Every structure is written in C-alpha cells, then in structure tokens.
C-alpha cells in the first residue's frame, strides 16, 4: 500500500503537544508572497519531551523580570517621545481588543502620541465596526484609514481562496504593509504591534526589528511577488489588474527606506501579555464589546470578530491542517492557565470544524463564488495524510481526543 500524500510540506506523522492542544501540523512560518502553498513550510516544533515551542515560550514568561522589561520600554519611549504635537509612534489596528489596549496604554500611561492606522476588514461586522468607532471616540485617538481599491480586493480574495484556500492572504499582506508606508511617509520612527510571534511558536523571537532588516517589510523585485497565488505579471495579463492598483498590497520599496530609521517593536515583549486581561482593559477603557453570540468554530466571543470572513478563514485552517479555531483559542488559554488540557480537548472535540454558515452566503456573494464551488475546493485542499472519508463524511485520521 502506497504512502498517503502529504500536502503543504507538513510532517507526515501527527503529534500533539502534551501541554496544550496544538499539533505539529500548525504552520509556524509562511511566506505569504509565495505562489503556492505546496512549497515547504516550517511547522510548530514539538521537542523530545512532547512540548511545543509556544508552551515553552509561555513557561519562560513566568521567569521574566517584567519590571526590568518595562524600564526598557520607558527608555525606548523616552528616546522617541515628542512634545511638539507630532506623532511619535504608529499602532495599526481595526478596533480589536489588542490594538485598543496598545494605543490606550501607550498614550495614557506612557505619554506617547500614537497615530492609529487601519486597513479595514474585507467585510466589517456590525459590532466590529462599532468597536472601531469606540476605539477612536471613547479611547480618543487620531486615525488614518486606508480604503483600498474594492474591485482589486474582491478579485484577490477570490483568487486567494481558489489557489490557496486562504481567504485572508491578501488582506494580511495589505494590513502588514500599511504601517511601514505610513511611518516612512510621515517620518514616524516607531511601529508597535502587540504580541511577538514567538508567543505562538513562530521562529520570530527578536523584539526589535529594523524595516531594512526584514524582507517581508520591503521588496526590490516585483517579479518575485505573488498575490492570491498569482504573479503580478499574470494579474496584469489575465485579470486586467494594473500594477498601479496592486501597490497598496505590496511592501514598501527598498529605495523608500534608504534614509529612514524606523523600528518595529512588540509591546508584548515589554509588558506581560495575557489576552483575557487585554480584553478586560479594552472593555473598560475603549468601549470594546464582545460578539453578541458565540463565534462559530469555537467557544469564545471576543477574538478576531471584526471581519465576516474571519470565521471562514479558521474553517480553512481546519481543512488544510486539521486545526480549527477552538484549537487556537484553547491552546492559548491553556498556556495562560485559564483551561486545563482535558477541558481544551473537550472544547476542540465539540467545536473545531463547525461550519461558519452565519456569514457564508454573504461572503460567497461578495467574491462572486458559488457555495458549491467553495465546498469543492475544500475537498481538493484536504491533505490525505490528515483526512479520510467514512460513509460519505470526512473524518480526521488522528483527532486529539483519540490520541491522548
């Protein structure tokens, strides 16, 4: 019997972390500009003791001298703080709990003057839009919102689903690339994000990053870039999208950074970051409100709720990697000691893979895709080493509740 096909460069054998509920199938580092998700990915590392890198990072946080880290933050802010009314840092966000917390604490505790910037969700939820408004009106922040070409956004979103089964690929690119462009344009020296990617097991542990040091913040050759799994040249020739209409999705050009000194920092490096406490802070200080109902695919109400495509995105991670939204949420809460692993396993069994039908038809109408076509794509993108079909239904070969 031939070996089952393994897609996306995932490990052939499925192993789960003994502390949380995440598996080694989770991509830990992806190159969003690649034209194919078949190319090799780095996945979450689980060590010889059965513990994943994200859990090891969580353990390390308990031994950090957070007072010393805060002193480092204050020294950094003292270096760049301005008293002439000009912005001295940028906080990207769309009004979620994390960006609300970041902007508020930087302004009101540490005396900075942040410019908040927003690359809007593809399809705002009503409550997500209200949270964005409250962020600015209740929290009290200036904001620059970039409204991109709607026709191009729609086309790239559809192509991302068709070619990568990744509804958020081009949205993430635009969101990631907006801050460096605004920082360069307005000579703002600091960009603050929230949690360091190492919190989730990604091999990006450095807190301080110069824009010139990271290729994903800038580019020098547009021919090397793919959007929605399609090259820029093909987008021009086959989809009638001019290069000028793609620039907002692309990184800042290297030449624009030649004489700029712009640093990227993660606030979670300096301040102990607990998502539940960040949520309570945002509620109290910026009027943030949780979803009025449970998010499909998980048990929570306040994570990633501003975009109607969010739920579909996590469903596609379940299809490709066997890891749904409940797995991500439960793993995080286990690391923060708000759940036991047994509780996490039970929640994953109950909610992972729940189909997000609330906004599904609206999303399909937006991208002009027939619902049955989406389901066909899901079947095509399942990796045989993870999935099997029994009595007409797809089943995970190695669900966590059967692995222990």
- Per-domain boundaries in the chain: 66-270
Q: How many percent of the chain have pLDDT more than 90?
A: 79
- pTM for the complete prediction? 0.91
CA nearest 89: which of 122, 113, 61, 125?
113
Gyration radius of the chain over CA positions: 21
Q: Mean of the pLDDT values across residues 385-391?
A: 96
Three-class SS state of 144: strand
The label of the residue with tokens 């301080």 reads 208
Helix then strand then coil, % of the chain, to nearest 5:
45, 10, 40
**pLDDT by residue (tens digit) across 107-164?**
999 999 999 999 999 999 999 999 999 999 999 999 999 999 999 999 999 999 999 9
CA nearest 97: which of 332, 269, 303, 309?
303
Provide the β-strand partners of residue 193.
Answer: 266
Alpha-carbon distance of 79 to 85, in angstroms, equals 16
* Whole-number pLDDT of residue 208: 55
**pLDDT by residue (tens digit) across 245-294?**
999 998 887 777 777 889 999 999 999 999 899 999 999 999 999 999 99
Range 66-270: architecture per CATH: 3-Layer(aba) Sandwich (3.40)
């Amino acid at each position: 019997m031939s070996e089952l096909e393994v897609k996306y460069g995932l490990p052939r054998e499925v192993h789960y972390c003994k502390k949380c509920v995440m598996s080694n199938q989770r991509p830990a580092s992806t190159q969003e500009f690649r034209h194919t998700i078949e190319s090799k990915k780095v996945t979450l590392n689980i060590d010889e003791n059965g513990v994943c890198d994200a859990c090891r990072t969580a353990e390390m946080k308990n031994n950090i001298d957070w007072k010393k880290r805060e002193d480092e933050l204050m020294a950094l802010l003292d270096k760049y703080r301005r008293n002439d009314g000009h912005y001295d840092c940028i906080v990207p966000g769309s009004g979620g709990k994390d960006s609300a917390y970041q902007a508020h604490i930087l302004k009101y505790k540490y005396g900075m003057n942040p410019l908040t910037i927003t690359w809007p969700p593809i399809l705002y939820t009503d409550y997500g839009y209200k949270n964005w408004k409250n962020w600015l009106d209740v929290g009290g922040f200036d904001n620059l919102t970039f409204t991109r070409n709607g026709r191009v956004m729609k086309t790239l979103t559809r192509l991302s689903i068709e070619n990568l089964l990744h509804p958020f690929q081009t949205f993430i690119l635009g969101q990631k690339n907006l801050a460096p462009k605004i920082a360069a344009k307005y000579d703002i020296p600091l960009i603050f994000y929230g949690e360091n990617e190492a919190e989730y097991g990604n091999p990006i542990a450095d807190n301080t990053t110069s824009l010139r040091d990271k290729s994903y913040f800038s580019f020098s050759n547009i021919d090397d870039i793919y959007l929605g799994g399609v090259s820029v040249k093909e987008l021009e020739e086959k989809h009638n999208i001019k290069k000028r209409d793609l620039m907002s999705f692309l990184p800042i050009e290297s030449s624009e950074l030649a004489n700029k000194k712009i640093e990227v920092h993660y606030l979670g490096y300096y301040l102990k970051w607990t998502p539940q406490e960040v949520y309570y802070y945002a509620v109290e200080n910026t009027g943030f409100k949780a979803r009025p109902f449970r998010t499909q695919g998980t048990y929570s109400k306040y994570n990633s709720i501003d975009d109607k495509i969010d739920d579909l995105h996590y469903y596609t991670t379940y299809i490709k990697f066997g890891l749904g939204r409940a797995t991500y949420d439960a793993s995080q809460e286990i690391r923060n000691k708000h759940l036991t692993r047994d509780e996490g396993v039970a929640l994953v069994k109950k909610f992972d893979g729940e189909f997000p039908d609330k906004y599904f038809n609206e999303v399909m109408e937006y991208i002009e895709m027939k619902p049955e076509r989406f389901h066909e794509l899901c079947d095509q993108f399942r990796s045989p080493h993870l999935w099997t079909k029994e009595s007409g239904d797809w089943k995970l070969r190695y669900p966590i509740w059967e692995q222990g």
